[in-house]
C-alpha cells in the first residue's frame, strides 16, 4: 500500500510502531479522533493527507518540534494545542512520556468550509483551555460503557471540537468575557495545589497549564495576585512546610530537604536561613526546647 493512500492515524501508527490506545472515526471517514501515548525519543512524521488538531493531555512539558535548523525554543505542555498542517513532514522530540489526543478532518471538508488556508502552516503549542476541555470530555466518555445515549453525546462533543478547530486559535488576548473572576479562581486553584503538596515539582509550565494560560502570562497574573513570582511562592510553601516538620517531628534535616524537593541539604539550609533568619537546626532547637 502506498503511503499517500493512508489516513493520518495510519501514518502516525506506522511511525510510532503502535496503535492508538483509543480511536473513533466517523462512518464516512470525514474525521478521526485518537489517543496516543508514546515515550522518549525523536520522531519524524511523514506528511499527513489531512490537517490535524493535537491536544496534549499530560506527560512531560519538554515536547518540541523541529524548526528550520534546530528544536523549537517553545515546548508544549499539558493543555496546549497544536495544528499540524497537511502535506508537511514534521519532527518531534519527546523527553519522557507523551499523552495526546488527535482530531483529523478530511481536507475536502475544510475546502468546502473555506477555511483550508487556516491550516496551511504549523501552529505549535498555543494555550487552548476549551480545546483541552472538549478533548478530555470526549475521551472520558469513550472509556464509559457503550450506549446509544453515550454515542449521541460523543458525536455532539466531536462536532463541538471540530467547530472549535475550524474557528482556529484566538488572535488576541481578549476572551470576549470578563476574566478577573475566572483568573482569580484559576490562580487560587494553583495556589491551593502548591499548598497541599509543596514537595511536588510545580514547574512553571505545569502551573500555567492548570490556569489555562501561557507561562509568560501566568507569571504576570500570578505576581499581580500574590506579590511574588511562582517560583518564590513554591519555595515559600516548601519552607513553611519545613518549619512545620521541624517543629512537630524529629525527621533528619537531610530527609526533610529531600522530601521537600531541595537539591541538597546545603541548598535547604541556605534557603531556610534566608527565609527564617536562622538555620533549621537553631529553629528546631528553639521550638523543641
Cell of 142: 469513550
Cα(206)–Cα(193) distance, rounded to whole angstroms? 11
pLDDT digits 0-9 by tens, 66-84: 988 899 888 887 888 999 9
What is residue 77's predicted lDDT score, i.e. its pLDDT?
Answer: 79
| Residue of higher predicted confidence among 227 and 46 | 46
| Residue with grid cell 494555550, as numbered in its chain | 127
| pLDDT (mean) for 200-220 | 87
Cross-strand bridge partners of residue 56? 100
pLDDT digits 0-9 by tens, 150-208: 899 999 999 999 888 887 655 434 444 334 444 566 777 788 888 888 888 899 999 98
Cell of 41: 525519543
Cell of 198: 509543596
Cα(167)–Cα(188) distance, rounded to whole angstroms? 30
Cα(215)–Cα(223) distance, rounded to whole angstroms? 12
pLDDT digits 0-9 by tens, 105-148: 887 766 655 566 677 888 898 888 888 888 999 999 999 888 98
Q: Which of 176, 178, 175 is nearest to 212 (CA)?
A: 175
Q: Which of 42, 54, 34 is nearest to 16 (CA)?
A: 42
What is residue 170's predicted lDDT score, i.e. its pLDDT?
Answer: 53
Angle subtended by helix axes 215-226 and 230-248, to nearest 10: 60
Cell of 258: 529531600
Residues, the chain, total? 289
Q: Which of 126, 212, 107, 124 is nearest to 166 (CA)?
A: 107
Q: Taking all residues of the chain, what is their mean pLDDT, rounded to a whole number?
A: 83
| Secondary structure of residue 55 in the 3-state scheme | strand
Cα(50)–Cα(233) distance, rounded to whole angstroms? 44
What is residue 113's predicted lDDT score, i.e. its pLDDT?
Answer: 56
- pTM reported for the whole predicted model: 0.57
What is residue 80's predicted lDDT score, i.e. its pLDDT?
Answer: 84
Amino acid at each position: 500500500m502506498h503511503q499517500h493512500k493512508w489516513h493520518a492515524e495510519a501514518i502516525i501508527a506506522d511511525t510510532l510502531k503502535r496503535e492508538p490506545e483509543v480511536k473513533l472515526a466517523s462512518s464516512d471517514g470525514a474525521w478521526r479522533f485518537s489517543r496516543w501515548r508514546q515515550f522518549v525519543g525523536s520522531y519524524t512524521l511523514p506528511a499527513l493527507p489531512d490537517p490535524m488538531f493535537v491536544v496534549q493531555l499530560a506527560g512531560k512539558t519538554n515536547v518540541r518540534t523541529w524548526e528550520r535548523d534546530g528544536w523549537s525554543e517553545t515546548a508544549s505542555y499539558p493543555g496546549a494545542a497544536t495544528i499540524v498542517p497537511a502535506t508537511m513532514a514534521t519532527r518531534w522530540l519527546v523527553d519522557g512520556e507523551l499523552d495526546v489526543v488527535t482530531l483529523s478532518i478530511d481536507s475536502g471538508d475544510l475546502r468546502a468550509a473555506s477555511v483550508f488556508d487556516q491550516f496551511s502552516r504549523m501552529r505549535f503549542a498555543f494555550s487552548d483551555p476549551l480545546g483541552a476541555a472538549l478533548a478530555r470530555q470526549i475521551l472520558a466518555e469513550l472509556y464509559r460503557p457503550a450506549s446509544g445515549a453515550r454515542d449521541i453525546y460523543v458525536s455532539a462533543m466531536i462536532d463541538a471540537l471540530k467547530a472549535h478547530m475550524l474557528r482556529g486559535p484566538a488572535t488576541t488576548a481578549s476572551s470576549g468575557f470578563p476574566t478577573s473572576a475566572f483568573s482569580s479562581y484559576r490562580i487560587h486553584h494553583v495556589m491551593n495545589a502548591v499548598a497541599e503538596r509543596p514537595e511536588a515539582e510545580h514547574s512553571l509550565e505545569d502551573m500555567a497549564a492548570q490556569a489555562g494560560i501561557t507561562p509568560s502570562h501566568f507569571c504576570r497574573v500570578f505576581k499581580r495576585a500574590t506579590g511574588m513570582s511562582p517560583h518564590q511562592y513554591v519555595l515559600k510553601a516548601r519552607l513553611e512546610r519545613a518549619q512545620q516538620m521541624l517543629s512537630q517531628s524529629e525527621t533528619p534535616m537531610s530527609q526533610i530537604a529531600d522530601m521537600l524537593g531541595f537539591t541538597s541539604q546545603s541548598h535547604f539550609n541556605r534557603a531556610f536561613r534566608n527565609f527564617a533568619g536562622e538555620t533549621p537546626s537553631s529553629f528546631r532547637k528553639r521550638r523543641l526546647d
